[in-house]
Amino acid sequence: MIPGFVALAAAQGTLSAPTPNVRRLACAAAATTLVAGLVRVSDPSCPQPFDPGATTSDLGHAAASISTFALWAAMPIVAARDKTTGWYHRFARAMVVPTVAAFVCAGATTQLDSTFKGIAQRVFLALVFLFQAATGLALGTTDTLSA
């Protein structure tokens, strides 16, 4: 799992973004992703911090993962608020509600230990990676408007 987290952090950290604010979020998410990968969980089931038998390492991994997810959820919001024009701005605005809803559902299903928590997390990640792919493609195709 560590190589996957490191690769994801590297990709996140080198993500081209059409606005400085989105770029800053991507860099912050790269750092928290790296921490989540390096702080190992005690069990492949990824115990929640307050589960019986959870370790300090589980707490660290959870904190870094939740931080990463929150930063990812914020990216479309920030991109939609940034002063840009074109398809990327419209796409960012369209991604706000589904991304935030998926983030809330992923958190709720995890907290409730629902049988749907894996599906909810994967839906959230699919939206995040779709948004990040669009962000990478958008560099140079949007105009930044002056404030």
Instruction: Output the tens digit of pLDDT for each of the chain's 147 residues.
Output: 788 889 989 988 888 888 899 999 999 999 999 999 999 888 787 788 778 888 888 889 999 999 999 999 999 999 999 977 889 999 999 999 999 999 999 999 988 989 999 999 999 999 999 999 999 888 755 554 443
Which pLDDT does position 51 carry in this prediction?
A: 81
Enter the pTM of the model. 0.87
Q: Residue 12 to residues 81, 90, 97: CA-CA distances in angstroms?
A: 21, 22, 22
Three-class DSSP category at 2: helix
In order of 80, 108, 122, the CA distances from 90 in angstroms are 7, 28, 24
Task: Please state the domain extents for the chain.
Answer: 2-138
pLDDT value at residue 141: 55
127: Cα within 13 Å, side-chain hemisphere: 25
> Which DSSP state fits 82?
S
What is the residue type of 45? Answer: S
